[in-house]
Structure 1
Amino acid sequence: MNPPKLFISYSWSNPDHEKKVVDIATELRESGVDVILDKWDLKEGNDAITFMEKMVTDPELKKVAIICDEKYASKADGRAGGVGTETQIISKEVYDNQGQDKFVAVVFEKDEHGKAYLPTYYKSRIYIDLSVEDKYSDNFDQLLRWIYDKPLYIKPKIGNTPSFLSENPQKSLGTTALFNRCIDAIKNDKPHAIGTVDEYFSKFTEGLEQFRIEKTAEAFDDDVMGSIDAFLPYRNQAIQLFTTISKYAQNENLTHHLHRFFESLIPYMDRPKNVNQYMEWDYDNFRFIIHELFLYSIAIFLKNDRITQANYLLQNQYYIPTNDGGKASMANFSIFWKDVRSLDYRNSRLQLNRISLRADLLKERSASTGIDFIHLMQADFVAFMRFEIEPNDDYYYWLPETLAYLGPFNNPFEIFSRSTSKSYFEKSKILLNIESVEDLEPLLNSYKDGSRQLPRLSYRGWSPSALIGYEKLATRP
């Protein structure tokens, strides 16, 4: 492979500047570049202008480095004399008529404001800065990469269109612009943050109707899986918003608005008005999606140590409107866990033999969120224990299906490991709605003596006492 050729254009400003040019030319040749420089290649009796014109316009010479200092920029812009120099050879017309990847400005000098001296025709182009000693090495490497056409960042190949876009291109919540406004308003504590978040939640809720499944002749569980997959970008968007609220929101009123958002999603979990013939699993996609969103909200608040906010969502009841003119009612957070029977059917139809297909999906889908699955498991367990401790209507339940991934060792979750500290326990105990460690004893004993049954979530069994770290709660200062 022939070494790349480079012509160096510069101004004979002063002996020090010329020495710097020779030094960089030498360094480039030592790096495998065939540098053409007047001091080496222009011999006595040669025509300087012809030599320089050939170097600049020769199509076989692919690279020209323009060494820029104050004098070069001044001459190039016609503000100083000196006929027969490269600054007249590389005019705007010559520069524009050559391929732009042939030239690069290498800045040796800046003005008192830190602005690079550049010819006017080059002002809008990216240059290589060798004027700062601390960055010289990195920027010299940048120059070498340009000469060798080996950029540091290579544009990756274009992949295939995501399946959820090609299969359901018409389905869009239309929330992207509002989402971006929400993130900016919350992070910068703008006065309109709450209003913007409410707009986003309203748009989200209204747009969810687009994901209602139309009955097909195919297996309905395939439709449910397809809808859940198609919704993934909007789930990720909501997760980012929950995370931003938990990290940056100065106004805790946003948690109240998040509570109302979840309340607005409840009607999607059952038959809509004016629908009389239906199967219970007609709404399984919504049941999975809404449960997943609620679980992430709790997980994110706990992960970011926003215990009061997580408790708000667990403590406050949710309004359930009626579809048939009957009496509306209230329910606790367990309204967001409902059996997704189409997944049970799928497990059986495909002979998958999984303990919980919902748990499998939650784990698979957590990979793209930035929230480790262990945080979902922790949120699921906290919700289960809160449900078990409080008196509940028999109509609802909370099954912590993610605990199917506990494994052989039931170590305490982070929130309870931290609660070995008395001060942290005083902060975290509201999650379980208890006043003291002893308040847990009747429930934990009922699991041990069998008077209360734990849901079967693994082949090995599991221990709430171990996951809470009951023996060590509040044992340290």
Structure 2
Amino acid sequence: MNILDTSFKEKKVFISYCWTSPQHEQWVLNLAEMLVHNGVDVILDKWDLSEGQDKYHFMEAMIRDTSINKVLIICEDGYKEKADERTGGVGTETQIITPALYGSIDERKFIPIIARKETGKFDEYIPTYLKSRIGIDMSCENSYLDGFEQLLRAIYDKPRYKKPQKGSPPKYLFEESKITSKLYFVNENLKKYITDNRRGIIELTIKEFEENFFQELDKFIISNENFKEPHDEQLLNYINQMKELRDFYLNFLEILIVSYEKFNSDIIIEFLENLFKYSEYQGTGNTYHSYITEHFKFLITELFLWINLLLIKHKNYKVMNEILYTKYFVKSKYEHSLKEFSNFRFYLEGIEYNRTKLQRLSRTADKFIERATLNGKNYKEQIIDCDLLLYYISKTKGNLWFPTTYVYKEWHKKIELLSKMIRKKHFEETKVLFNVMTVIEMKKLIEDYLMTSDYGFPNSYNNIIPIFTSSISLNDIATI
């Protein structure tokens, strides 16, 4: 037998039954043969009890034998009658089994199996001494195969339903946070509703999550009178506090990407349109400090990066195309306007205020890399590559996304998504990101827009690197 599970140990069972009729004896024999074919060593009187042996001693030995993993008690009206009246071989076995059940032998060793019943009442065919035991119904054609699988699982100790591994308590119980537990429980409910395919309530739960998300975000609005020096430290403090909120959204989105069959770009686009308003001052009055919303602007840019990272991770390039090439209808205090995806990238003057003093090229980039973790996994390289990919795509659209994290890119490492374009299959999957249909169109796009680089950070000697063709050369695209 070829067993993949190296922990497999051979199992042995003894079958106790009544010689009620030739048909019933054949039923028992068929069951024994099926068990043997499924790797179980079966002890059966027809095979293992020879002329001259003491049948009662044989029964007692089988029941007490520690190498016997299970005793299968085949129940039907004849077995029940003889067991209850303590007559015949069944009555003798009953007298042996009864004290064993309540003695030192593991009670799970004895499994009642209903072989035949004339009414729908399951326990009418189980002997009195076994009434409290959970049995298996194999009494008819409809229940036989399910019952046989249930029996095999019991023999091999491989239950169908397993208690889930104990997780960790929610962090919000132990951390001082502005954020309530609502989003945590909405995410847990969303997973359950998707598993149960409760379509109507899934849509309501998505809306509930977004409403709660923005309610939580409102807690981080800074009033003008409370915006104190040093501005950069106050903003970074709020950014740190909002990471938990960011993670709630990313977990919410990943649940939808992976599990929700009706997931589409509208869910992301509408969320981003509603999120964009936080780039404007949400407090009262028309006079406010110009840096006062930079913690929100940081979160907007970071979330846009991570949304695309998750879409790449799960190869949902179609939805990624739709969020990169759509126009965002953004509602402002003063006007309604259409935005490109590159408008979700903000320069954060207040956060960068002390970067020269701290000898940093970009405190924003530092923060993106510092926070490049989700659920304990580090996504530093993926964040950088996604940032650069958005930069390349924006160059073809004429509205630049500046890839803040490029300074962290190891010069010798290629961008995996681009280098894999050497494969035809991968190119066909990912060409939608560049809005092209053919290899010829892709090559022309690269020649027109992506053969050169732009200026990087001030006081940095390098342009933005690597350039597109560092990861895939023109002549290698879709050649394998």
Asked whether the equivalents of residues 66 and 105 of structure 1 are also in contact (C-alpha less than 8 Å), the reply is yes
Do structure 1's residue 271 and structure 2's residue 297 form an aligned pair?
Answer: no
Number of equivalent positions:
405
Equivalent residue runs for 1:3-14 within 5 Å: none
Asked whether the equivalents of residues 175 and 200 of structure 1 are also in contact (C-alpha less than 8 Å), the reply is yes
- CA deviations on 1:22-56 (whole Å, 9 max, x unpaired) are 9xxxxxxxxxxxxxxx949999xxxxxxxx9xx9x
* 1:226 paired residue number: 241
Q: CA deviation at 1:210?
A: 5.0
Q: Distance in 2 between matches of 1:112 and 1:348?
A: 85
Q: Distance in 2 between matches of 1:425 and 1:165?
A: 48
Do structure 1's residue 407 and structure 2's residue 430 form an aligned pair?
Answer: no
Judged with a 3 Å threshold, the aligned counterparts in structure 2 of structure 1 residues 202 and 242 are, in CA distance, closer, same or farther, namely same
Q: Distance in 2 between matches of 1:465 and 1:428?
A: 14
Q: Distance in 1 between matches of 2:213 and 2:78?
A: 62
Q: Which runs of 5+ in 1 are unaligned?
A: 1-7, 23-37, 44-51, 56-63, 126-130, 144-152
Equivalent residue runs for 1:29-428 within 5 Å: 39=57, 67-71=71-75, 80-82=84-86, 87=94, 103-107=107-111, 111=115, 119-123=130-134, 142=157, 162=171, 166-168=175-177, 170-173=180-183, 175-176=186-187, 179-180=190-191, 183-184=194-195, 192=200, 195-196=203-204, 199-200=207-208, 202-212=210-220, 219-220=233-234, 221-244=236-259, 248-249=261-262, 254-272=264-282, 274-276=284-286, 278-323=288-333, 326-340=334-348, 344=352, 356-365=365-374, 367-368=376-377, 374-392=381-399, 398-415=401-418, 417-418=420-421, 421=424, 424=427, 428=431
Asked whether the equivalents of residues 211 and 227 of structure 1 are also in contact (C-alpha less than 8 Å), the reply is no
Judged with a 3 Å threshold, the aligned counterparts in structure 2 of structure 1 residues 361 and 401 are, in CA distance, closer, same or farther, namely same
Secondary structure at the residue paired with 1:387?
helix
Secondary structure at the residue paired with 1:462?
coil
Q: CA deviation at 1:100?
A: 12
Secondary structure at the residue paired with 2:338?
strand
Judged with a 3 Å threshold, the aligned counterparts in structure 2 of structure 1 residues 237 and 458 are, in CA distance, closer, same or farther, namely farther
Asked whether the equivalents of residues 220 and 238 of structure 2 are also in contact (C-alpha less than 8 Å), the reply is no
Judged with a 3 Å threshold, the aligned counterparts in structure 2 of structure 1 residues 333 and 164 are, in CA distance, closer, same or farther, namely farther
Q: Which runs of 5+ in 2 are unaligned?
A: 1-12, 20-24, 33-41, 46-55, 137-146
Q: CA deviation at 1:333?
A: 0.8
* 2:48 paired residue number: none
Q: Distance in 1 between matches of 2:165 and 2:429?
A: 51
Judged with a 3 Å threshold, the aligned counterparts in structure 2 of structure 1 residues 197 and 13 are, in CA distance, closer, same or farther, namely closer
Asked whether the equivalents of residues 342 and 401 of structure 2 are also in contact (C-alpha less than 8 Å), the reply is yes
Amino acid in structure 1 at the alignment position of 2:467: P
Asked whether the equivalents of residues 416 and 469 of structure 1 are also in contact (C-alpha less than 8 Å), the reply is yes
Amino acid in structure 1 at the alignment position of 2:194: I
Asked whether the equivalents of residues 15 and 72 of structure 2 are also in contact (C-alpha less than 8 Å), the reply is yes
Amino acid in structure 1 at the alignment position of 2:391: F
With the length of structure 2 as denominator, give the TM-score of the two structures.
0.61
Judged with a 3 Å threshold, the aligned counterparts in structure 2 of structure 1 residues 75 and 436 are, in CA distance, closer, same or farther, namely closer
Q: Distance in 2 between matches of 1:418 and 1:427?
A: 8
Asked whether the equivalents of residues 456 and 463 of structure 2 are also in contact (C-alpha less than 8 Å), the reply is no
Q: Distance in 2 between matches of 1:85 and 1:240?
A: 59
Matched-pair identity in % = 14
Secondary structure at the residue paired with 1:104?
helix
Question: Which stretch of the first structure deviates more once superposed, 233-242 or 272-281?
Answer: 272-281
Q: Distance in 2 between matches of 1:382 and 1:446?
A: 14
Q: CA deviation at 1:70?
A: 1.8
Judged with a 3 Å threshold, the aligned counterparts in structure 2 of structure 1 residues 349 and 104 are, in CA distance, closer, same or farther, namely farther
Asked whether the equivalents of residues 319 and 330 of structure 1 are also in contact (C-alpha less than 8 Å), the reply is yes
Q: CA deviation at 1:314?
A: 0.9
Q: Distance in 2 between matches of 1:42 and 1:183?
A: 52
Q: CA deviation at 1:302?
A: 3.6
Q: Distance in 2 between matches of 1:133 and 1:322?
A: 62
Q: Distance in 1 between matches of 2:307 and 2:367?
A: 18
Q: Distance in 1 between matches of 2:403 and 2:321?
A: 17
* 1:453 paired residue number: 455
Amino acid in structure 2 at the alignment position of 1:240: I
- CA deviations on 1:324-375 (whole Å, 9 max, x unpaired) are xx33322111222224567657988998998722331342337449xx6555
Asked whether the equivalents of residues 429 and 436 of structure 1 are also in contact (C-alpha less than 8 Å), the reply is no
Judged with a 3 Å threshold, the aligned counterparts in structure 2 of structure 1 residues 361 and 378 are, in CA distance, closer, same or farther, namely same
With the length of structure 1 as denominator, give the TM-score of the two structures.
0.62
